[in-house]
Amino acid sequence: MTHSFLPAPPDHVPEELMVDFDMFDIPSGVEDPAEIWRELNRRAVPRIFYTRHNGGHWVFMDYDDIVEAYRDWERFSTHYAVVPPIEPFPVMQPQGVDPPQHKVFRSLLAPLFTPVAIRDMTEELKRRTVMLVDKFADRGHCDFIAEFAAQLPTGTFLHLMGLPEERLPEFLKISDVFFRSTDEAERQANAMQVYGIINELFTEKQANPAEDIATLLVQARGEDGELLPWQDKLDCAFLLFVAGLDTVTNTMAYVWRYMATTPQARATLREKLDDPSELLLAVEELLRINSVSNLFRRVKSDMDYKGVFLKENDRVIMPNTIANRDPAVFENPETIDLDRKVNRHVTFGVGPHRCIGSHLAKREILVALDYWLRKIPEFELASQMPEGNAFGGPVMGFKSLPLTWKV
Ligand code: HEM
């Protein structure tokens, strides 16, 4: 019999810890999906509560608990932690495995994403940014997401994996279905399509090795010198697709939406363009306040966690947007202070699974801000966001962001 990680019914949850909350449900009229999390604070829900929605899961509301769940992999596992629970589910490498096994793929990828390695990618990111912005700068308007924020990380992914640039339109379509479809069958078929493309790519790289991540994965061997399992390698490339596209797209969408509605922020950021360390501080603050990911964990075995009984296989959600606005950790947490010096935000997670791509993500945002604000210093929202434009879930964001400016 195969082992199941499905959670038990919530008979162990006391009524006072039950809250009616659906992380995927953005009520009509709500433009910013993170509002549904902030609403929980206004409702003064318990700091650890349970919701029956999406297969049933706990929510941690305090920074300290969220950080503890990130760090304590012996009690809070990433393996089969998805919400709603699905079995079978791809075990993404290295995100879906706990230490110590997780270091096999983590140590393969980490050297490719160090600050130095990413600094060397700056020119490539600039080239892509210029190409995209110059297509619409003289037009005076664009859909920021379709024409920029989705394109930059997807093009960068193709580049890193060694996939040809001509496949960008195909990949944009695939990732749109992958990240936006709510049809289970369509999503299933789409994931199979992504795996099919990666499999084909790996086969091609076996015959024609090159300087790219696909080749590195295909050739990767374990400590004993044996080639690592093919399926694990596919799962690792799949994770890069899942982790590195929509997160960057929606973080940028949040940042540009904020700039479009806040003239003072545009002016402050423009002043910082020639001072890289000041600009980086500002970007850290933009990342703190615009944290798009809500991560999952699975309780490994029954435990008493700070007086709350958590049962084996219970799911836990850690909303970064709540952690990053915890008044116990951040001074004036709701104020966007582009000069904030101490900033222990958890936008990229903490602990063993901390984001491998954080330097790349930051570099993409820095390069994009730099070129955009010089080329299009003033811009605003073209219209009110249409109904249904915002979406919630593990990554929150917007389907479109129409911007306009004077030419
Ligand atoms: C603003 C953009 C991004 C955000 C907000 C973000 C957020 C995160 C978070 C919170 C985690 C921790 C997951 C966990 O603890 O379970 C993570 C892990 C990861 N991220 Fe990112 N990420 C971003 C961009 C990227 C990019 C551009 C890449 C790669 C090209 C990437 C690759 C990864 C990988 C491989 C992991 C798993 C690391 C491990 O399990 O050891 N991310 N990311």
E strand or H helix at 200: helix 184-207
Ligand 1 near 394 CB (within 6 A)? no
Question: Cα(95) to centroid of ligand 1, in Å?
Answer: 9
**356 contact partners, CB below 8 Å, separation of at least 6:** 106, 109, 110, 113, 243
Ligand 1 close to Cβ of residue 247 (< 6 A): yes
Residue 1 has pLDDT above 80, yes or no: no
Q: Are strands 315-319 and 57-60 parallel, antiparallel or unpaired?
A: parallel
293 lines ligand 1 (CB under 6 A): yes
**For ligand 1, atom 6, which residue shows the shortest CA distance?**
348
Predicted local confidence at residue 187, as pLDDT: 85
Beta carbons within 8 Å of 9's beta carbon, 6+ residues apart: 56
Nearest to 144 by CA among 339, 346, 392, 385: 385
* Ligand 1 atom, smallest distance to 94 CA: 40
Q: Is 353 in the pocket of ligand 1 (CB under 6 A)?
A: yes
- Tokens for 366? 């820095």
Atom of ligand 1 lying closest to residue 365 CA: 1
Ligand 1 pocket member 360 (CB < 6 A)? yes
In 44-153 the beta strands, taken as DSSP E runs, fall at 48-51, 57-60, 76-77, 141-143
Among 112, 348, 369, residue to substitute to test ligand 1 (most atoms within 8 Å of Cβ)? 348
Nearest CA to ligand 1 atom 17: 355
**pLDDT value at position 2?**
66
- Please compute the mean of the pLDDT values over residues 309-314 and round it to a whole number: 98
Measured from the Cα of 351, ligand 1's closest atom is: 15
pLDDT tens digits for 179-214? 888 888 898 899 999 999 999 999 999 999 999 999
Output the average pLDDT for the chain: 96
pLDDT classification of 88: cutoffs 50, 70, 90: confident
pTM of the model: 0.97
Q: Ligand 1 pocket test: pick from 161, 256, 316, 358 the residue with the most ligand atoms within 8 Å of its Cβ.
A: 358
Give the Cβ contact number of residue 231 at 10 Å.
Answer: 13
Backbone angles phi, psi at 76, to 5 degrees: -120, 105
Residue 167 phi/psi, 5° resolution? Answer: -85, 5
Strand order in the sheet with 141-143: 141-143, 402-404, 380-381
* Nearest ligand 1 atom, CA 362: 1
Q: Is the CB of 297 within 6 Å of ligand 1?
A: no
- 311 SS3 class: coil
pLDDT greater than 50 at residue 259:
yes
CA distance 232 to 195: 12
Segment among 40-54, 109-123, 383-397 with least mean pLDDT: 383-397
The CB of 106 under 6 Å from ligand 1? The reply is yes
Cα 129 from Cα 133, distance rounded (Å): 6
